[in-house]
Structure 1
Amino acid sequence: MTHAPAVSRRGTNLLMLGGLLGSLPMAGCALKPDAIPPVAAGPNRFREGSGSAAWPDPIWWRGVGSPELNRLVARMSTENLDLAVASARIRQADASARIAGSALLPLVTAGADASRSETGGRRGTITTRYSADLAASYEVDFWGRNRNAAESARLSAAAARFNLGTALLTAQASVANTYFTILEARQALRIQEENLSAARRVLAVIRQQVAAGTATGLDLAQQETVVAQQEAAVPPLRQTVSQNTATLAVLLGLAPAELDVSGEGFEGLDVPSPTPGLPSELLARRPDVLAAEATLAAANANVASARAALLPSITLSAQGGFESLLIGTLLRPDAQFLSMAASLAQTVFDGGTLRGRVELARGEQEELLANYRLTILSALSDVESALAALRETTEQERLLREAERRATRAYSIAEGQLQGGIITLITLLTAQQTLFTARRNLSRGRLERFQAAVGLFRALGGGWGPGASPPAPEVRR
């Protein structure tokens, strides 16, 4: 094979000539993908937004001030199996893009052969033939079919990367929300224990009054009911802790038995409140919007590729090498052979297959265009809803904290007056129930504010920015 430079040069020249002839009219003849239709101009500001923009930090969860949450998110970034799936899909999309791009290059194959044939029986003639050859073929992409197919695959790979970004934001928000739910359930358990302790203290007082004849059996039965109700509220809270710990373990790639959460409440924690900039800036930050745009562009390229398949295809090919009856003379000049060919093919009748593929590609394009517009509107709606939720839950928590403070003071006064015989049991029971409700509502309100803040971070695209692309996580096996 190393002694065939003349044949190689001739084959290369043929392919270069064919590529040149195909590329000259390409700009005028190649079918180009449709441009992405412009989206109707949206609002120039967010209704719920105010002040200058303060986009989320890429590590926004550290603003909560919980070292444990920082460790949980760090582990999730490397061990979450949803991210591993998204990362594997990126590798698949990259491989598909390489496969599609290979159609733009010549196909070159090399081969060698030795054959032996015998004629005339035992005393006949035995012929041995040796050959070595190099073949090349190239489809001139006159109409841009292969180029558009390669572009579609490249854009699909880009969309896979943006999908990884969406999966990453979702996993971060899920870890934070699940962790906060565990904290709230544990805090609620402490509150419930305090409520139960208070109810038992009142029960002890009533029993003393019954013994002294100043209270009735009905009073005793009513307070025993309150104690039983407070005891019954404990198991659901323990169940919430257990179930959400199991959910959090799966997010971290662990078995539930392998995870221990030490956090007990929201004391010392807070969430900084980002503010959005312009809606146009949001669309450049959200990976789901960018993924929808890339997917739509890939569909447009698919339509152009399907249309080009309706037109004739041109293929150039060349084959050269050596063929001889004796291996010792295989590389002599007189053993050379060379063949060149050019072919033009046009589908005459296929039962509508090619045109059906064009219509199929157009239908997918229309679906993805509608999905792209819906994704944009959903992104804007997410931010408006998240801004309103954070504002209102912050105000709600402030009011609930004040209500809990007043209920605690009222109950403390009522408990002392009951022991002094100043008020009736009905008054104490009312104050007691008001306190229990206020404490539980405050705990729930605090959870809602933290989760509303997480929702805003997610709606604003997390720490994403224009041109950002998430690195594929290194998932340890």
Structure 2
Amino acid sequence: MYLFSKKIALASCMILLSACSAAPSEKPLINYANAYSVTLNTTAAIQIDSDWWQAFASPTLNELIQLAQQQSPDLLISAERVRQAELQMRIANATLFPSLTATASSGESRTKADGQGSERGESTRASIGVNYEVDLWGGLAANRSAVKAGFDATRYDQDAAALSIQAAIASGWFQWLALQERIVTAQKNIVIAERVQRIVDARFRNGAATAADVAQQKNNLLTQRAALLPLELQARQTQSALAILLGKTPQEFVLIAENLLAVAVPQITPGTPAELIARRPDLAAREADLAAADADIHAARAALLPGISFSASASKSASELFALNPATQASGWTLSLAQTIFNGGRLVNQRRLSEARRAELVLQYHKAILVALQEVDNALVSTDISARQEVSQQEIVTNAARSLRLSEARYREGTDDLLSLLEAQRSLFQAQDSLVQQRLSRLNAAVELYKSLGGGWNL
């Protein structure tokens, strides 16, 4: 009989230990390639620095991002979230210490029976109590681990938000510069269209042009003027968006243009796909969420097991107001064990809910890694294609400039008319406008590559 009881006790201990032990954390299985699908020319490539925007050699961009780090509303909001998570962690860490309570009271009472005199009573009491919950199964420690992992996830999310804001400022600044260049080009085209209009009008008055020619050129002039308005609108909207990112009112925010083509386009070393998981703060945040879910499962399993708490108290009491001497002293301690017998399956379902939540987070983490790899690949493709397109567009600009020089020479020699010269000028301006757009595409691709690679962040 004794041996049988011993076996039952040993089996019970094994069940309890298995119930409170945490399951190993599931991690997504990713088959990382040795390299990305696009290989860039890395002869002049640079490593990504945490101040990656300085590689564009734009003084105004450096000032804008420095200003955003000080007063961007989005960054300030994320900083407050980190503060809240830190306070939650401090609250959870309070379970490491016992709770101490103190009470004091003094008063009197009067009782009177029917037909009898009143009786008066006085009392004064002071007591102190200590209570401590023994973390026998690690449930409280698991709660602290979950909150700590949540704090880490919030910090990483803050870093990811900062990177997104920096990238948005860089893209917005380059967009505004490109719009300024395109506005200048559109204005030049309007000047050319006005000159052509005057020539056509003069030829019409001399009988060398028809009314259809006049109407066609008038329509061309109106089209050129109409094309300028959306560019001015986009420039204003882009400037206002930058103002909001920087915590400025759109009315007080003023930008001074730089030469977009003078902005450097850095060559970036992308590294390998397997390195990406430790270089992106958003992936680190999702991994921290997964760690918090593992701790929640451990805490939910520990809640199924008996709870042990220790309490002690000491008190003094006297039958006089505001006096504890002479007094009656009392002290004691209690060690209690509590086990939930029935609660409708709440604790069991809570454990199952925690396990289902972890399974979801594993899938989300898996998807986040795949999306991150896709973003890097897309950024590399865009970087490669936009660079080649800019080279082609530069050749177009060179040929358009050569055509303009030839048209000017023929016009001076009297072998070509002014309309041909003006058309050559307009072709050059349009080619230059396309070159600005291609440079903007290259800059945006570089910004996106920096962002998708983590912007110099590391775990």
Which residue does 1:42 correspond to in 2?
32
Root-mean-square deviation over aligned CA pairs: 2.6
Deviates more, 1:441-450 or 1:199-208: 199-208
Deviates more, 1:316-325 or 1:248-257: 316-325
**Which residue, 74, 92, 104 being the options, matches 1:82?**
74
Which residue does 2:354 correspond to in 1?
361
2:323 and 2:404 map into 1 onto residues whose CA distance is 111
Residue by residue, what CA displacement relative to the aligned partner does 1:341-375 show, whole Å, maximum 9, x if unpaired? 22222222212211221122112111111111111
**Which residue, 166, 171, 177 being the options, matches 1:172?**
166
**Which residue, 343, 358, 365 being the options, matches 1:350?**
343
Residue by residue, what CA displacement relative to the aligned partner does 1:29-69 show, whole Å, maximum 9, x if unpaired? 85335324253341122222454884311112122222211
What amino acid is aligned across from residue 149 of structure 2 in structure 1?
Answer: L
Residue 198 (structure 1) shift: 2.0
Residue 110, structure 1, aligned to residue 102, structure 2: yes
1:331 and 1:381 map into 2 onto residues whose CA distance is 79
Residue 60, structure 1, aligned to residue 52, structure 2: yes
Which residue does 1:246 correspond to in 2?
240
1:58 and 1:93 map into 2 onto residues whose CA distance is 25
Which residue does 1:69 correspond to in 2?
61
What is the identity percentage for the equivalent residue pairs of Structure 1 and Structure 2? 34
Which residue does 1:3 correspond to in 2?
none
What amino acid is aligned across from residue 319 of structure 1 in structure 2?
Answer: S
1:169 and 1:312 map into 2 onto residues whose CA distance is 47
1:212 and 1:95 map into 2 onto residues whose CA distance is 85
Residue by residue, what CA displacement relative to the aligned partner does 1:290-329 show, whole Å, maximum 9, x if unpaired? 0000011001111111111112211211111212224686
What amino acid is aligned across from residue 386 of structure 2 in structure 1?
Answer: T
Which residue does 2:388 correspond to in 1?
395
Which residue does 1:286 correspond to in 2?
280
2:375 and 2:70 map into 1 onto residues whose CA distance is 28
What amino acid is aligned across from residue 394 of structure 1 in structure 2?
Answer: A
Distance 1:417 1:207, change over 3 A: farther
Which residue does 2:136 correspond to in 1?
142
2:401 and 2:224 map into 1 onto residues whose CA distance is 17
What amino acid is aligned across from residue 198 of structure 2 in structure 1?
Answer: A
Aligned partner of residue 257 in structure 1, secondary structure:
coil
Q: Show the 5 A alignment for 1:152-191.
A: 152-191=146-185
Deviates more, 1:311-320 or 1:116-125: 116-125
Residue 282 (structure 1) shift: 2.1
8 Å contact from structure 2 (residues 19, 302) kept in 1: no
Which residue does 2:5 correspond to in 1?
none
Which residue does 1:307 correspond to in 2?
301
What amino acid is aligned across from residue 320 of structure 1 in structure 2?
Answer: A
What amino acid is aligned across from residue 389 of structure 2 in structure 1?
Answer: Q
Residue 115 (structure 1) shift: 2.5
Residue 275, structure 1, aligned to residue 279, structure 2: no
Deviates more, 1:362-371 or 1:432-441: 432-441
2:203 and 2:127 map into 1 onto residues whose CA distance is 111
What amino acid is aligned across from residue 157 of structure 1 in structure 2?
Answer: F
**Which residue, 379, 396, 405 being the options, matches 1:386?**
379
1:341 and 1:128 map into 2 onto residues whose CA distance is 29
1:331 and 1:65 map into 2 onto residues whose CA distance is 81
2:407 and 2:222 map into 1 onto residues whose CA distance is 21
Which residue does 1:407 correspond to in 2?
400
8 Å contact from structure 2 (residues 108, 321) kept in 1: no
Q: Show the 5 A alignment for 1:26-37.
A: 30-32=20-22, 34-37=24-27
1:413 and 1:203 map into 2 onto residues whose CA distance is 23
Which residue does 2:229 correspond to in 1?
235
8 Å contact from structure 2 (residues 20, 298) kept in 1: no
Residue 416 (structure 1) shift: 6.5
8 Å contact from structure 1 (residues 245, 261) kept in 2: yes
TM-score of the aligned structures, taking structure 2 as reference length? 0.88
Distance 1:27 1:271, change over 3 A: farther
Residue 440 (structure 1) shift: 2.6
Aligned partner of residue 147 in structure 1, secondary structure:
helix
Distance 1:33 1:75, change over 3 A: farther
Residue 117 (structure 1) shift: 1.8
Q: Structure 1: state its 5+ residue gaps.
A: 1-25, 468-477
2:172 and 2:274 map into 1 onto residues whose CA distance is 31
TM-score of the aligned structures, taking structure 1 as reference length? 0.85
Distance 1:248 1:329, change over 3 A: closer
Residue 223 (structure 1) shift: 2.1
Residue 199, structure 1, aligned to residue 193, structure 2: yes
Distance 1:219 1:38, change over 3 A: closer
Residue by residue, what CA displacement relative to the aligned partner does 1:87-133 show, whole Å, maximum 9, x if unpaired? 11111111111222222321111111112122346943322111111
2:177 and 2:442 map into 1 onto residues whose CA distance is 13
Aligned partner of residue 130 in structure 2, secondary structure:
strand
Residue 223, structure 1, aligned to residue 217, structure 2: yes
1:103 and 1:364 map into 2 onto residues whose CA distance is 25
2:337 and 2:143 map into 1 onto residues whose CA distance is 21
Distance 1:464 1:177, change over 3 A: same
2:325 and 2:293 map into 1 onto residues whose CA distance is 51
**Which residue, 453, 459, 462 being the options, matches 2:455?**
462
8 Å contact from structure 1 (residues 192, 234) kept in 2: yes
Residue by residue, what CA displacement relative to the aligned partner does 1:211-260 show, whole Å, maximum 9, x if unpaired? 34333333332222222111111111110111011100100011100100
8 Å contact from structure 1 (residues 101, 146) kept in 2: no
**Which residue, 441, 446, 449 being the options, matches 2:439?**
446
The count of aligned residue pairs is: 440
Residue 419 (structure 1) shift: 8.6
1:103 and 1:308 map into 2 onto residues whose CA distance is 15
**Which residue, 363, 379, 383 being the options, matches 1:370?**
363
Residue 400 (structure 1) shift: 1.0
1:169 and 1:328 map into 2 onto residues whose CA distance is 64
